[in-house]
């Protein structure tokens, strides 16, 4: 991952694109890419989304590539380690969604009784 982050930074620096890459703009770009990923699943049933035909499968991989690049670029700009941030959040989620209350239920934590 460190190597990939270094490559992303070099890619942007060589094109003199850092001037555009404020966290605000990178977050906007990340939203746009995530919507392109979402579009691959548009009008499919849940079940169909679990069994994508090859062209759609390939499209998800490309869009996940874009999303990952932008997420790493944004996190780097903010000085955030994505894996560490995910680990902390997972720990918080363990507290917000205790096993006995949340098993088999899709409610948000503040709707759990």
Q: Cα 78 vs. chain centroid, distance in angstroms?
A: 16
Min separation Cβ 67 and a second copy, Å:
6
Q: ∠ CA(41), CA(45), CA(49), 5° rounding?
A: 50
Q: How far is the CB of 52 from a second copy (least distance, A)?
A: 7
CA proximity to 41, closest of 17, 24, 60, 68: 60
We find the least distance from the C-beta atom of residue 113 to a second copy, in angstroms, to be 13
- Consecutive H or E run containing 38: helix 23-40
Least distance between a second copy and beta carbon 70 (Å):
9
**Is the CB of 19 or the CB of 113 nearer to a second copy?**
19
Torsion angle in degrees (nearest 10) through CA of 9, 12, 13, 16? -160
Question: What count of other Cβ atoms lies within 10 Å of the Cβ of residue 69?
Answer: 19
């Amino acid at each position: 991952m460190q190597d990939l982050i270094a490559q992303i930074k070099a890619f942007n620096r060589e094109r003199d694109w850092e001037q555009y890459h404020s966290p605000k703009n990178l977050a906007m770009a990340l939203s746009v890419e995530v919507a392109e990923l979402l579009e691959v699943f548009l009008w499919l049933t849940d079940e169909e989304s679990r069994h994508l035909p090859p062209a759609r499968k390939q499209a998800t991989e490309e869009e996940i590539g874009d999303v990952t690049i932008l997420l790493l670029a944004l996190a780097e700009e903010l000085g955030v380690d994505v894996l560490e941030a995910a680990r902390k959040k997972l720990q918080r989620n363990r507290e917000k969604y205790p096993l006995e209350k949340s098993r088999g239920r899709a409610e948000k934590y503040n709707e759990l009784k």
